[in-house]
Chains A and B, each alone.
Chain A
Amino acid sequence: MTDAHAMERPGALDVAAVRREFPILSETVRGKPLVFLDSAASAQKPRKVIEAMVSAMEHQYANVHRGLHWMSERTTEAYESARDAAAAFLGAGDRDEIVFVRNTTEAINLVAHSYGRGMLRAGDAVLISEMEHHSNIVPWQMLRDSHGVELRVAPVTEAGELDMAGFVALLADGRVRLVSITHMSNVLGTYTPAERIVRLAHDAGAKVMLDGSQAAVHRKVNVEALGCDFYVFTGHKLYGPTGIGVLWARRELLEAMPPFLGGGDMISSVSFERSTWARVPHKFEAGTPAILEAIGLKAAIEWTTALGWDAIAAHEQALTDHALARLSAIEGVSILGRAQDRGGVVSFTLDGVHAHDVATILDRQGIAVRAGQHCAEPLIRRFGLDSTVRASVAAYTTLGEIDCLVEQLVRVRAFFR
Chain B
Amino acid sequence: MSETAFDELRDLYQEVILDHGRHPRNHRRLADADRSAKGDNPICGDRVEVFLRLGPDGRIAEAAFDGRGCAISQASASLMTEIVPGRTAEEARAISAALRTLARTGTCPVCEGAVAEAMERLTPLGGVSEYPSRVKCATLAWHALDAALSSEGKVTTE
Contact = CB atoms under 8 A, between A and B. Distances in A.
B44 A356 contact: yes
Chain B contact patch, size range: 20 to 34
Contacts of B74: 354
Interface stretch (B8-16, B49-57, B80-88, B102-110): B8-16
A361 B9 contact: yes
Contacts of B70: 354-357
A230 B73 CA distance: 43
Interface stretch (A37-45, A122-130, A314-322, A369-377): A369-377
Main secondary structure of the interface of A (DSSP, over half): helix
B47 interface: yes
Closest 3 CB pairs of A and B: A354-B70, A414-B4, A356-B70
Interface size class of A (residues with CB under 8 A): 20 to 34
Nearest to A372: B44
A149 interface: no
17 contacts: A354-B68, A354-B69, A355-B70, A356-B70, A357-B21, A360-B9, A360-B133, A364-B6, A364-B8, A372-B43, A372-B45, A377-B42, A377-B45, A386-B69, A415-B5, A416-B18, A416-B21
B34 interface: no
Nearest to B4: A414
Given A357-B71, A371-B44, A372-B43, 20 more contacts: A354-B68, A354-B69, A355-B70, A356-B46, A357-B13, A357-B70, A360-B131, A360-B134, A361-B9, A361-B13, A373-B42, A373-B44, A377-B45, A387-B44, A387-B45, A411-B3, A411-B6, A414-B4, A415-B5, A416-B22
Contacts, number: 64
Contact of A415 (B6, B45, B46, B137): B6
B147 interface: no
A303 to B, nearest CB: 31
A331 B65 CA distance: 30
B16 to A, nearest CB: 14
Nearest to A371: B44
A361 B6 CA distance: 8
Contacts of B13: 357, 361, 415
B32 to A, nearest CB: 27
A356 B6 contact: no
Contacts of A364: 6, 8-9
A416 B6 CA distance: 11
Contacts of A355: 44, 70
A380 interface: yes
Contacts of A30: 8
Interface string A382-413: 00001100000000000000000000000100
Interface of B: 3-6, 8-9, 12-13, 18, 21-22, 42-47, 68-72, 74, 131, 133-134, 137
Contact of A354 (B4, B5, B71, B131): B71
A293 B34 CA distance: 56
A76 to B, nearest CB: 41
Nearest to A352: B22
Contacts of A386: 45-47, 68-69
Interface in A326-353: 353
Nearest to A374: B45
A220 B10 CA distance: 46
A380 B3 CA distance: 32
A137 B5 CA distance: 43
A359 to B, nearest CB: 9
Tell me which of A353, A354, A371 has the highest count of chain B C-beta atoms within 10 A of its own C-beta.
A354
A275 to B, nearest CB: 40
A267 to B, nearest CB: 39
Contacts of B43: 372
Nearest to B67: A386
A371 B9 CA distance: 18
Nearest to A356: B70
Contacts of B4: 411, 414-415
B3 A357 contact: no
A341 to B, nearest CB: 27
Contacts of A353: 71
B45 A373 contact: yes
A360 B138 CA distance: 14
A73 to B, nearest CB: 46
Nearest to A387: B45
Contact of B3 (A360, A373, A414): A414
Contacts of A414: 3-4
Most chain A CB inside 10 Å of its own CB: which residue of B43, B44, B46, B72: B44
